Amino acid sequence: MTDQTSQAMTTEQPKAAQHGAKTLFWYFSLFWTMAITAFSVGAIWFQLINKFFPMEVNYLLIRNAFSQTAIKSAIAALIVGAPVFFLFTWLIRKSIKKEEIKLKSGARMWIGYLILFIVVATAVGDIITIVWKFLNGDFTSRFLLKSLVILAITGWTFIYFWLSLKSDDGLKNSKLPRMFVITSAVAVIISLIIGFTLIDSPATARAKSYDLTRENDLRNISSSVDNYFNQSGKLPASLEDLKPIEGATDPITHQPYRYKTLSDTQYQLCATFQTDNQLTTGEKTTQVYNQNNFLHSQGEQCFDLKVNDWNGKQIIIR
C-alpha cells in the first residue's frame, strides 16, 4: 500500500510542475499581448487627437505630431497582437472554469500584481504629466483628451485584474470577464476602423515613397551642383558633368531629371511627382523649418535654385 502511494505521488509531481509552467506561459503571454493591444489602441487614439486638435501651447518647433507611420505600426500590432490576446484570455478563462489553474498559485498572483503595478505606474505618470502641463498653462482639449484615453485604458484594466485577483473563484461565475472581452473587442475594432480612415492606401503610400525618393534625388543633385560650382567656379553644363552621382534618374521611368542653367549662379531642376506634399497635414508642419524641402504639386514641377557658395543655405527662389 505504501509503495502504491509513493508511486502515485511520484506520478503527480511532474503533472503539478507542468501545470505551473503552463500557467506561467499563459499569463506571461496574456500580459505581453495585452500590453501590445492597449498601447496600440492608445496610439491610434493619440494620432486621431493629434490630427484634429493642434497644439495650442508650444514647447517645441513641432506643433502637430500626427504621424501615419505611428498609426500603421499600431494597426499592424493590433492585427497580430489582439487576436493572440483574446486567445489567451479564452484559454485562461476555460482553465479557471475547469479548475486546472490554482487561483492562488505563485505564477498567477505574481504576474497579476505585476500587471497592476505597471497599470498604476502608467496612471500615476499620466497624472504627474497632467499637473506639469497644467502648471505650464497647457490645459487644452488636446491634452485633456489624451489624458482621458490613458486613464480609460489603465482604469478599465486595473479594475478587471484587481477584481479577478481578489475573487475567490477567479470570477468564474461572474459576467465581468465576458463584458471585459466584448468591450475590449469593440474598442479594438473601432480603433482599427479609425486607424484605416487616417492612413493612406498602400498605393498612395507607395506613390509618396517614390516622391520622397525624387525629393532626395533633387537634394543630392543640388548638393553636387554646389560642389561642382565651388571647385570649378561655374555651373555644370548638364548633369553628365556631375558624374559619378547617385539618383540622377527618376526611380520609375529611369529618365534623367531635367536640368537647365538660368544664369551664372542660378539653375533649374525639374521632376514629375505622383502626389502633392503641400497639403496641410500634421506630418507637414515640421517641414517649414527645412529650407531644402522641395514642396511640390502632382505632375511636373520645376524649381529655380541658386547655387550655395558655402556662405549660406541653398535658397529656392521659385
Give backbone dihedrals phi and psi of 299, rounded to 5 degrees, phi first: 105, -165
Specify the pTM.
0.71
**Residue whose C-alpha cell is 500590453:** 35
| Residues whose CB is less than 8 angstroms from the CB of residue 39 and which lie 6 or more positions away in sequence, other chains included | 74, 77
- Give the tens place of pLDDT for each residue, 15-41: 443 456 778 888 889 889 999 999 999
What element of type H or E holds 211? helix 202-232
CA 105 to each of CA 19, 26, 263: distance values in angstroms, whole numbers, following the listed order? 10, 13, 81
Per-residue pLDDT of the chain (318 residues; tens, 9 = 90+): 445 544 444 444 444 434 567 788 888 898 899 999 999 999 999 999 988 886 655 554 444 578 888 999 999 999 999 999 999 999 988 888 887 777 777 777 888 888 889 888 888 887 887 788 778 776 678 888 888 898 899 888 888 888 888 888 888 888 888 999 999 999 999 999 999 999 988 888 899 889 999 999 999 999 899 888 988 889 998 888 887 777 788 999 999 999 999 998 999 999 999 988 876 444 444 333 344 578 888 899 999 998 875 544 444 444
What is the Cα–Cα distance from 209 to 298, expressed in whole angstroms? 14
In residues, how long is the chain? Answer: 318
Q: Extract the C-alpha cell encoding 185.
A: 473587442
- Give the tens place of pLDDT for each residue, 46-74: 999 988 886 655 554 444 578 888 999 99
CA 13 to each of CA 9, 17, 157, 188: distance values in angstroms, whole numbers, following the listed order? 6, 6, 35, 41
What is the Cα–Cα distance from 147 to 126, expressed in whole angstroms? 7
What is the Cα–Cα distance from 284 to 62, expressed in whole angstroms? 10
Cα 84 from chain centre: 19
DSSP 296: -
Residues 245, 218: contact at Cβ < 8 Å? no
What is the Cα–Cα distance from 118 to 157, expressed in whole angstroms? 10
